[in-house]
Structure 1
Amino acid sequence: MKAWKITEFGSVDVMNLVDDFPIPEMKSTDILVKNKAVGSNPIDYKARGGATVVPSEDNPRIVGWDAAGVVEQIGSDVVGFNVGDEVYYAGDIMRPLGSYAEFTAVDYRIVGKKPKSLSWAEASTIALVAITAWETMKEDMVVEEGSEMLIINGAGGLGCMAIQLAKQLGLTVIATASRQETVEWCKKMGADHVITHREPLAPQLEKLGYAKGVRYVFHCHEVGNELGELMKNVVGPLGKLSLTFSPKDEGAFGTIDTVDMWFNRKALLSTMMFARPFTGVNPEKQGELLDTVADMIDAGKITPVVTKTMKFEEAKEVMELQASGSTIGKIAMTL
């Protein structure tokens, strides 16, 4: 099959497009998907640069996890799927062969039926961000209708999905953005208010009427030593802050005023959408939620987040765009 092969960590130069990569071997609980389109995420270039499974000549790696395609084969223990089904998925980061390929073997329990109203490109960009936003809000934060949520980096792929889901859950949404085009995108996604992350957040929230901070903060970008400031002055009493990435600066956790956190009953959470697949704890919940999200999309409650479509052969350019920090929404690659 055609695939972007990696045998060492590094820049985009370590990626090689080959047409003779072996089709992945399947487990009994796998379905083999013939990918029609692949969605790009920050984890793709992070994995290429040094995260997770170490690649080598004997054990090459294919990065990428988001994709949409057609079921080509099914394992002996697979239920609920048939050859020819149209599906979408976000995969398992601990498996070495991801979605930057013509075929991907993926556990059927973390796969959803593709939204009927979406193109292949649109569907390929949904699963990873939908799972991340859903698990954060519904499972970790257990958000309460009528509360407010600050979404940091609202115009990114995760941020714009988070805005939409938060609105569906009955929350007032405050998003952050730093450019006019990203401000407008956040409003288009449904944000009630948009503030800038280029300036201190607490004074801006105070002007909106949240002098004590907000109930929920969903940090959809890398966080540094500002973590302590966020916990003390942006997260309100009984509030929760969820981190998408571990802090990029050593000592960030040490900036937290734990006394304030304790007395005001604040919680610091982490979101990792790959946790269910690689721990094996109720992975079927991800397939179920993807089916629910597909129904919401087909009902017009959630809109696609893809803003740019490129060719599979342009994966290096896609990664460089993704790493630039200037993209809005998601980028899809068609095969």
Structure 2
Amino acid sequence: MSTSMHVMELVRFGDADTAFATRELPRPAPGPGQVLVRVEATSVNPLDLQTRRGDYRDQVALPAVIGNDVSGVVVETGPGADDFQPGDEVWYLAPMFAGQGTYAEFHVVDQALVARKPAGLSHVEAAGLALVGVTVWEALVERAGLRVGERVLVHGGAGGVGSIAVQLASALGAEVVTTARARDHEFVTGLGADIAIDFSAGDYVPQVRALGGVDVVLDTVGGDTLARSPEVLADRGRVVSIVDIPEPQQLLAAWGVNATYHFVFVSPGRAKLAALGRLVDQGKLRPVIGAVVPLADVAQAHTLLEGGSVGEGRRRPRGKIAVAVHQ
């Protein structure tokens, strides 16, 4: 096996078309308790866009390899890494801002963060589910404590996070309301949404209030969502945001309905992946892959996720944008 590998390296903060360069770096070696994984697929997330733009420049020293999702094959184990052996197909969420990221042909990770890939998922599908799946699990199960029979409002149900949140909430036995453009209503109801509201055609708040409000709001879009969440919450409702932190004045209205707010900056873990894998095996959860690009086209994937067009007028797809590393 070669002692080097190709990566897409972030060489400057800013626009996607000038941010990345192909580099050849030494292939990492696993240390104690670690495994070396041949990365078959990764994906592009909003966190990657923020990192590329420079939002986390205090945590990211250039040049850097970024990215967090991995689905691949174990090729080498370090001392004491006895949970896996070469040839095992695995998936995991890499630690954020800690060591090399996943826009690379190989990646080293502590075995405690790694789970066996669900047999029913391809590597592309598994890579597209890791970060968003763990995020949604933490948001709806661990933070909001969503229960059977409750009503949840998922903002952006056709997006990468939203499409998984709709499925998970439905699997938990909740009534699912989601915002999506009219053209995506059939898509989100197919995922398990009970009610779809076209946010682009008018104010969603009166429509949600007409239902009697919701027990949980999942904010995946930002903007004024946090400020308006108390308007749609039932008493003692919960708001979970993965994108924003409120201004103090926004919490005054939340106090009036006894609301609880949670803010998620997700942490990796094998147990969460295992729980997601069980739902996959039961046919209750499926990643939504809207586009697949090769590693060399990571910049195009960033442009697509930001809503721009590339090549032949391609626009931002539904669900996740996956990156096939070895083609």
Matched residue type, 2:215 = R
Once the two structures are superposed, the pairs formed by residues 123-138 of structure 1 within 5 Å of their partners are: 123-138=126-141
| Equivalent pair of 1:65/1:92 in contact (CA under 8 Å) | yes
Shift of 1:187: 1.2
Listed one character per residue, the Cα deviations across residues 75-122 of structure 1 (whole Å, up to 9, x for unaligned) are 324342222110111211122411110011122222221110111111
5+ residue gaps, structure 2, are 309-315
Q: Which residue of 2 aligns with 1:272?
A: 265
Once the two structures are superposed, the pairs formed by residues 1-335 of structure 1 within 5 Å of their partners are: 1-12=5-16, 13-18=18-23, 20-52=24-56, 53-56=59-62, 60-180=63-183, 182-198=184-200, 199-207=202-210, 209-210=211-212, 213-221=213-221, 223-231=222-230, 233-247=231-245, 252-258=246-252, 260-274=253-267, 277=268, 286-324=269-307, 326-334=316-324, 335=326
Q: Which residue of 2 aligns with 1:283?
A: none
Shift of 1:179: 4.1
SS in 2 for 1:317: helix
Shift of 1:243: 0.6
CA distance in 2, matches of 1:10, 1:202: 35
CA distance in 1, matches of 2:111, 2:320: 24
CA distance in 2, matches of 1:88, 1:77: 20
Shift of 1:257: 4.6
Question: Quick one: structure 1 residues 72 and 51, their matched pair in 2 at CA, closer, same or farther if it must change by over 3 Å?
Answer: farther
CA distance in 2, matches of 1:179, 1:314: 31
Shift of 1:25: 4.7
Listed one character per residue, the Cα deviations across residues 7-37 of structure 1 (whole Å, up to 9, x for unaligned) are 332222120012x212235442322110111
Runs of 4+ in structure 1 off by over 6 angstroms are none
SS in 2 for 1:125: helix
Matched residue type, 1:32 = L
CA distance in 2, matches of 1:134, 1:144: 13
| Equivalent pair of 1:7/1:55 in contact (CA under 8 Å) | no
Shift of 1:262: 2.9
SS in 2 for 1:239: strand
Once the two structures are overlaid, the 10-residue window that deviates more, 163-172 or 28-37, is 28-37
Shift of 1:307: 2.1
Aligned length: 310
Q: Which residue of 1 aligns with 2:313?
A: none
Listed one character per residue, the Cα deviations across residues 125-164 of structure 1 (whole Å, up to 9, x for unaligned) are 0111110111111111111211000000111111011111
Once the two structures are overlaid, the 10-residue window that deviates more, 302-311 or 144-153, is 302-311
Question: Quick one: structure 1 residues 296 and 227, their matched pair in 2 at CA, closer, same or farther if it must change by over 3 Å?
Answer: closer
CA distance in 2, matches of 1:295, 1:234: 32
RMSD of aligned C-alpha atoms? 1.8
Shift of 1:288: 1.6
CA distance in 2, matches of 1:289, 1:79: 20
CA distance in 2, matches of 1:206, 1:245: 23
CA distance in 2, matches of 1:161, 1:243: 15
Q: Which residue of 1 aligns with 2:311?
A: none
| Equivalent pair of 1:9/1:54 in contact (CA under 8 Å) | no
CA distance in 2, matches of 1:191, 1:79: 42
State the TM-score, normalizing by the size of structure 1. Answer: 0.87
Q: Percent identity?
A: 30
| Equivalent pair of 2:8/2:295 in contact (CA under 8 Å) | no
CA distance in 1, matches of 2:55, 2:82: 32
Matched residue type, 2:262 = L
Once the two structures are overlaid, the 10-residue window that deviates more, 87-96 or 157-166, is 87-96
| Equivalent pair of 2:209/2:232 in contact (CA under 8 Å) | no
CA distance in 1, matches of 2:228, 2:123: 41
| Equivalent pair of 1:167/1:173 in contact (CA under 8 Å) | yes
